[in-house]
Amino acid sequence: MKGTALSGRGAGKPIGRYFSRAWQAWCWLGLGLIATGLHLVEPTSLMGQLSYLAVAVSASAVAWIGAGRAVGDRTVGRLIALGVTLSAAGDLVFQALEWLTDSPPDVSVADVPWLCSYLALSAALLRMLSLTRHRHGAFRDVLVDVAVISVLVLLVEWELSVGALVTDSSQPVLSRVVWALYPAFDAVLIALVLRVVATRHHLRGMSVVFAAGAMCWLLADFAYLVIASADVVSTWLDTGWLLGAMLLAASTWQRPDAAPAARESRMGLGSVALAMLPLLVPGVIELLAWLRGNDANPIALLGAIILLVVLAFLRGARLLASEARARELLRSQERYSSAVAANSSDAVLVLDADGVIRNDAPQFAALLGSPEAPTRGAQVLDFATPVDLVESDAAFARALLSPGHVFEAEFEVADRDGRPMWLGTRLVNLLEDPDVAGVVVNIHDATHRKLAEQELVHQAFHDSLTGLPNRALFGDRVGQALERDRRTPLHAAVLYLDLDGFKGVNDSFGHEAGDRLLCEVARRLLSAVRAGDTVTRLGGDEFAILLEQSNRPIAEAQEVSRRILQSLLMPVEIESQLVTISASVGIALADSDSTAASLMRDADIAMYRAKAVGKGQSVVYEPSMRTAAVERLRIENDLVHALERDQLRLAYQPVVLMETGEILGFEALLRWHHPELGVLPPDKFIPVAEESGLIAPIGQWVLGEACRQAAQWRRDLPASGNLSMAVNVSGRQVASDTLVQHVATALADSGLAPSSLVLEMTETVLIQDPETAAARLQELRRLGVRLAVDDFGTGYSSLSYLRQFSVDILKVDRSFVATITDAVAIPPIVRGLLDLGRTLGLEIIAEGVEYDVQREVLLAQGCDLAQGFLFARPLSPSDARTLLTGTLRSAAAVPTG
Ligand code: C2E
Ligand code: CA
Ligand code: CA
């Protein structure tokens, strides 16, 4: 049994050692029992006496060995061994006295070690009790308990025989005192043993064996007290003492109990009753004595009662003290909780199922901007109004449905002053917990974090400069609008907008000024659209607008773009200069196949078309534009290599004197011999070249080539006389300060006389930036070249402008010439333009003369010079040369003069 109990405790070497140890002890116990038997057979014989002493002495030896081998606290074992040894010493002294004196006295020196052995055992038990893990002050309770039991036991003993013995005045005082000490020590020992047994939840090991041994002694003592002097009985008493000594010695070989935790004593009426109960015992004893007809000794009873009252008082005081301590602990916990709550940024609410606050929550009131307002009994909604009531109700309902579960949620609310806030909450339904009986809500202010989050999201979807939605968000909104389109008969539209000449602003005023201009444009765009429409900046100077569902989307989009272009007309002040900016707008309408990407691409294509037809306009997308856009993209890519791969050529259209057909000069017209697309006319690629900046090297090449060709013809055909060469220059070229340099180089390289070179530019080029243009024209004139206004009449030119730009030639646009259809009804505009030219003293060239009637009318109106298919199409250099040689020959053949 020992073995199984031990093997359950651990494993390995210590168990084996311990097992053998216990086995040795049991062996010895068996031998001891045999010796005890020998003593019983003939107690008074020498054999009997010696076997008694052998058992007693060996018990003390065994006890010391056991104590020495003990694991852990050895004090208990040593005290037990001391007790057993003292007892054995008493036995030896007593036996010696018996041998020496034949009949030893009732009281002798042997009583000293005997009595001391009780003290040693009591000390061992106290040590055992003190090893128990007690709550604060509980060991004192143990001592009081021990005292109470001791007094009661003593009282019973007193009644049984001790009283008579002690009060027997015929006996010497010393004897009476010694006799009184035995029951007194017994009482203490009994009390301690009971207390030890009561502390152990499961009796095992040392304490059981010890208790058994001590009980043997106590029973023997008790029997001795009650039935003293009976010789036969005394052999049985000897047996009790011997057995006791053996068991006590054996107990030292037992593993000491793991120090058990003291049982929690409940501070209730029960413990008060238990503390008072012993007070009844003296009364009961007196009653029994009275029933037996005895006279109980009142002094002893009174003494016992006084002692018990004192002890009960101590016990009561201790109960009161622990009660007070418990209260204090509770108060301190409450103070702790409220201090934590008061100094935490979180507010804690306890709500009932109807959302009524059941606690004082100053934090909560303060959090929501009304620090003084009482919370207990108030509705939570009185403090904070959720923006989404349905959502907050749902969260509360969820918590109510799942008691004990933690729910976390964030709500946007308005506080009592209507300020918006974000509250982070944590809800637990503890309605079923009787100590709480509410839904506990932890609340903290999440406003700052939420705002920061929103800011991050805003940054991710907005343009940092203008604050407008960015491309990602815009695409998303277009997608949503298309979704809605599918459910309604209405349609959305996208406007794509690109500022004209923004690069110029950036270049001349710097990026900061450019940024300010972009912000101003953003502001104007926003004021030109409806509230539900989305304006975005796609990057650079590109903007887009989403017009939500409309039943007449085209009209509305055009109306919006008209408003936008109108609003942009108002000049913006930048660096104390007024800058006017225009924009080109492309419009795309959603249809059933549209996607966000296709709609934005279509609007982009339409915008390019708008730029191409002349800036500051809006164009509605048509499917044909898509192919044009694809082609345009290709052209853009290929044009980069056109020059280096020698794909550019010049065609020459003669300028003739209509009267005679004499060629006075040529206009150089650019052609691109594209390897796959064939010969491309300039309007297919010049705008692209302008946009990409390639116009600079291309224009330089045209100038050089045209001058070279003119110079060559003049050298080869001296009869051609003062043959002129007209070269077209674009707006970008006029704006660039390298133009003058390029012209000078071309003239110098070719050796052409400056007066033979005519530079043509349109009115629009001139009025876009009048000051630069005027300055540039001045520089060019200083080189000696002549200047022509191309496509005259199509721009906004006014007389004053023409005066400002001192030019030499006006080229009346083909569209006016085309209006001349019969010889009688001359269109007034044509007459007006011709008059204007004459008034300014300019040379006039009519463009696009295709029919004889046009030639006649123009001649009749005093316009001598013209170009047109009627005379010649633009020709290759060799054809032009042939034509030139031919006219020269025929002119030579016609006799002049
Ligand atoms: P533009 O300066 O007005 O050139 C005259 C255009 O009218 C030429 O078109 C010519 O072929 C065409 N044309 C001449 N006579 C007639 C006629 O009787 N009927 C009709 N219907 N058309 C006629 P092209 O060659 O296609 O040139 C178009 C424009 O391209 C030119 O208009 C000019 O503005 C520009 N361009 C041509 N070459 C260059 C160049 O080297 N540099 C620059 N910057 N622009 C150029
Ligand atoms: Ca021209
Ligand atoms: Ca022209």
- Taking only the tens place, the pLDDT of each residue in 569-590 is 888 888 787 888 889 999 999 8
Query: Distance from the CA of 810 to the center of ligand 3, in angstroms?
Result: 10
Query: What ligand is nearest to the CA atom of residue 706?
Result: 1
Q: What is the pLDDT of residue 506?
A: 81
Atom from ligand 1 closest to the CA of residue 849: 18
Query: Distance from the CA of 728 to the center of ligand 2, in angstroms?
Result: 5
Maximum CA extent, the chain: 196
Query: What ligand is nearest to the CA atom of residue 680?
Result: 1
Is the model's pLDDT at 645 over the cut of 70? yes
Q: What is the pLDDT of residue 5?
A: 31
Q: What is the pLDDT of residue 7?
A: 32
Query: Distance from the CA of 44 to the center of ligand 3, in angstroms?
Result: 159
Query: What ligand is nearest to the CA atom of residue 732?
Result: 1
Query: Distance from the CA of 702 to the center of ligand 3, in angstroms?
Result: 17
Query: Distance from the CA of 729 to the center of ligand 2, in angstroms?
Result: 8
Decide if 809 contacts 781 (C-beta within 8 A): no
Of 25-39, 576-590, 612-626, which gets the smallest average pLDDT? 25-39
Query: What ligand is nearest to the CA atom of residue 702?
Result: 1
Q: Give phi and psi for 681, each to the nearest 5.
A: -70, 155
Percent of the chain with pLDDT over 70: 90
Span 721-746, average pLDDT: 94
Query: Distance from the CA of 850 to the center of ligand 2, in angstroms?
Result: 16
Q: What is the pLDDT of residue 646?
A: 96
Is the model's pLDDT at 12 over the cut of 60? no
Tell me the pLDDT band of 524, cut-offs 50, 70 and 90: very high
Residue nearest to atom 41 of ligand 1 (CA): 670
Tell me the pLDDT band of 256, cut-offs 50, 70 and 90: low
**Token pair of 880 as six digits:** 């032009």
- Angle at CA 264, nearest 5°, toward 259 and 269? 150
Query: What ligand is nearest to the CA atom of residue 760?
Result: 2
Residue nearest to atom 23 of ligand 1 (CA): 848
Atom from ligand 1 closest to the CA of residue 669: 38
User: Comparing C-alpha atoms, which of 790, 820, 816 is closest to residue 805?
Assistant: 790
Judged by DSSP in three states, 45 sits in coil
Query: Distance from the CA of 637 to the center of ligand 2, in angstroms?
Result: 26
Atom from ligand 1 closest to the CA of residue 690: 44
Identity of the residue numbered 327: R
Span 364-376, average pLDDT: 86
Pairing of strands 843-846, 542-550: unpaired
In residues, how long is the chain? 897
Query: Distance from the CA of 760 to the center of ligand 2, in angstroms?
Result: 6
Average pLDDT of the chain is 84
Span 21-29, average pLDDT: 71
Is the model's pLDDT at 39 over the cut of 80? no
**What is the per-residue pLDDT across 78-126, written as a single tens digit (0 to 9) for each?**
899 999 999 999 888 888 888 888 776 778 888 899 889 999 989 988 8
| Higher pLDDT, residue 574 or 20 | 574
Query: What ligand is nearest to the CA atom of residue 791?
Result: 3
Query: Distance from the CA of 798 to the center of ligand 1, in angstroms?
Result: 23
Residue nearest to atom 10 of ligand 1 (CA): 874
Query: Distance from the CA of 824 to the center of ligand 1, in angstroms?
Result: 29
Neighbours of ion ligand 3 (CB under 5 A): 790-791, 847
Query: Distance from the CA of 647 to the center of ligand 3, in angstroms?
Result: 24
Query: Distance from the CA of 690 to the center of ligand 2, in angstroms?
Result: 16
Query: Distance from the CA of 667 to the center of ligand 2, in angstroms?
Result: 7
Q: Is 335 exposed, middle or buried (0-12, 13-18, 19+ CB in 10 A)?
A: exposed
Of 396-400, 486-490, 702-706, 882-886, which gets the smallest average pLDDT? 486-490
**Token pair of 472 as six digits:** 């990602």
Residue nearest to atom 4 of ligand 1 (CA): 669
Residue nearest to atom 27 of ligand 1 (CA): 682
Q: What is the pLDDT of residue 297?
A: 67
Query: Distance from the CA of 671 to the center of ligand 2, in angstroms?
Result: 13
Global pTM? 0.45
Residue nearest to atom 12 of ligand 1 (CA): 848
Atom from ligand 1 closest to the CA of residue 670: 38
Identity of the residue numbered 791: D
Residue nearest to atom 17 of ligand 1 (CA): 848
**What is the per-residue pLDDT across 449-475, written as a single tens digit (0 to 9) for each?**
888 778 877 777 888 899 999 888 999
**Of 73-77, 365-369, 840-844, where does the model show the most confidence?**
840-844
Is the model's pLDDT at 822 over the cut of 50? yes
Tell me the pLDDT band of 2, cut-offs 50, 70 and 90: very low
Residue nearest to atom 13 of ligand 1 (CA): 848
- Candidate from 648, 652, 655, 669 with most ligand 1 atoms within 8 A of CB, to mutate: 669
Residue nearest to atom 15 of ligand 1 (CA): 868
Atom from ligand 1 closest to the CA of residue 874: 11
Query: Distance from the CA of 503 to the center of ligand 1, in angstroms?
Result: 28
Query: What ligand is nearest to the CA atom of residue 811?
Result: 3
Is the model's pLDDT at 199 over the cut of 80? no
Query: What ligand is nearest to the CA atom of residue 651?
Result: 1
Identity of the residue numbered 844: I
CB atoms within 10 A of CB 778: 12
Q: Give phi and psi for 703, each to the nearest 5.
A: -60, -50
Query: Distance from the CA of 656 to the center of ligand 2, in angstroms?
Result: 15
User: Comparing C-alpha atoms, which of 306, 120, 121, 101 is closest to residue 216?
Assistant: 121
Decide if 211 contacts 196 (C-beta within 8 A): yes
Atom from ligand 1 closest to the CA of residue 695: 44
- Candidate from 691, 728, 811, 849 with most ligand 1 atoms within 8 A of CB, to mutate: 728
Residue nearest to atom 33 of ligand 1 (CA): 728
Of 363-372, 735-744, 844-853, which gets the smallest average pLDDT? 363-372
Query: Distance from the CA of 417 to the center of ligand 1, in angstroms?
Result: 73
Atom from ligand 1 closest to the CA of residue 730: 44
Is the model's pLDDT at 340 over the cut of 80? no
Residue nearest to atom 20 of ligand 1 (CA): 848
Residue nearest to atom 21 of ligand 1 (CA): 848
CB atoms within 10 A of CB 841: 7
Residue nearest to atom 3 of ligand 1 (CA): 791
Query: Distance from the CA of 484 to the center of ligand 3, in angstroms?
Result: 49
Q: Which residues line ligand 1 (CB under 6 A)?
A: 653, 669-670, 681-683, 686, 702, 728-730, 760, 790-791, 814, 847-850, 867-869, 874
Distance, CA of 34 to CA of 242 (rounded, Å): 11
Residue whose token pair is 């009161």: 320
| Higher pLDDT, residue 529 or 139 | 529
The DSSP code sequence of 690-754 is HHHTTHHHHHHHHHHHHHHHHHHHHHH-GGG-S-EEEEE--HHHHHSTTHHHHHHHHHHHHT--G
Is the model's pLDDT at 598 over the cut of 60? yes
Is the model's pLDDT at 202 over the cut of 70? no
Is the model's pLDDT at 896 over the cut of 50? no
Pairing of strands 618-620, 534-539: unpaired
Q: What is the pLDDT of residue 258?
A: 57
Sheet holding 438-445, edge to edge: 347-351, 438-445, 420-430, 406-414, 385-386
Residue nearest to atom 11 of ligand 1 (CA): 874
Atom from ligand 1 closest to the CA of residue 811: 3
Atom from ligand 1 closest to the CA of residue 762: 34
List, in order, residues 6 or more apart from 385 with CB less than 8 Å away.
413, 414
Query: What ligand is nearest to the CA atom of residue 759?
Result: 2
Atom from ligand 1 closest to the CA of residue 869: 18
Is the model's pLDDT at 222 over the cut of 50? yes
Is the model's pLDDT at 516 over the cut of 50? yes
Percent of the chain with pLDDT over 90: 30
Residue nearest to atom 7 of ligand 1 (CA): 848
**Token pair of 278 as six digits:** 């012993």
Tell me the pLDDT band of 743, cut-offs 50, 70 and 90: very high
**Of 177-186, 230-239, 317-326, 810-819, where does the model show the most confidence?**
810-819
